[in-house]
Amino acid sequence: MPKIIAIEKGKNLNPAEAIVIKKENNSNNPVRWWCNYAWETVDLPVEVFKKEYDRFRPFEMNLPDDWEEGYLVVQDDIPMFIYGKANTKNI
């Protein structure tokens, strides 16, 4: 099942306001970070997410198995995840 990452409704993110996403304890669950503090882990079916997290606009995204951390950016209302690996620069 794809991980579900969310953008708060009404937010128009740019790279300077990017959400930083990191693995927590080497798990596959992404932790969303906003302004450098941990927010919450999200790994739910879309239907559940929509009911429980109404203020967020969810989208599904498959993350590569070897991702370490990344940045969520939105261009033209399309979310994109730019991820990095250990000992490499973000791609």
User: What pLDDT, in 10s, does the model give residues 39-90?
Assistant: 444 455 556 555 655 665 555 566 666 666 666 666 666 666 666 554 444 4
Q: Look at the pTM and tell me if it is higher than 0.85.
A: no
Phi and psi at residue 20, to the nearest 5°:
-95, 130
User: What pLDDT, in 10s, does the model give residues 10-25?
Assistant: 555 544 444 555 555 5
